[in-house]
Amino acid sequence: MIGFRVGLSATLLVSLAICAGTLTSFSNADSFLGDDKLHHAIAFTCFALPMILVSPKYWRAMITYSLIFGGIIELAQPYVNKTGDPMDLLANTAGAIIGIVVGAALFRFNQIRREKYEPIYIDHTIRTYSNRKYRR
C-alpha cells in the first residue's frame, strides 16, 4: 500500500509530534476538547497506522514500540512539570491496537480492491497449497 520508507518516516514524524504534545506544558490545557486519555489513544493510533499500512506483519513491533515509547514518555513527564499517569500507558496501548486493526483492515481492503489478494486453496489430491485453483 505504501512504501517502507514512507511508513517509517510518517511513524517518526508522529512520534515527534507525540513528544512535543506530551512533554510540553500548556498553560490552557483545559481548552482542548475531549479527554486526555482520548488524546493519547488517537495519537498512538496515528503512531501505529503507517507501519501497518506498509505491511500487517509489523504488528508485534508496533505493539512493542508503543509500550516502550509510552513508558518512556510517562517516565519523562515528571521532569517537565507534568504528572505521569499509568492509565495513559493503557490508553497508548489501546490506541496502538486500534491503529493496528484499522491498518490491517485497510491493507486487506486495498489488496482485494486491486485484486492482488488470492485466498489459498488446498489441493487434497497432491496435498499441497497453492494460490491458484486446481484446473483439470
Residue 66 lies in a domain: yes
Model pLDDT, residue 110: 86
Residue 123 pairs with which residues in a beta bridge?
A: 128
Query: For residue 118, is pLDDT > 70?
Result: no
List the domain range (segments joined by +) for residue 22.
Answer: 4-130
Question: pLDDT tens-digit profile of 95-108?
Answer: 999 999 999 999 98
Model pLDDT, residue 57: 92
Q: What percent of the chain has pLDDT over 70?
A: 77
Number of domains in the chain: 1
Model pLDDT, residue 24: 84
Residue 80 lies in a domain: yes
Tell me if the pTM is above 0.85.
Answer: no
Residue 51 lies in a domain: yes
Segment 50-63 shows an average pLDDT of 93
Residue 135 lies in a domain: no
Question: pLDDT tens-digit profile of 58-82?
Answer: 999 999 999 999 999 999 988 888 8
Segment 110-118 shows an average pLDDT of 74
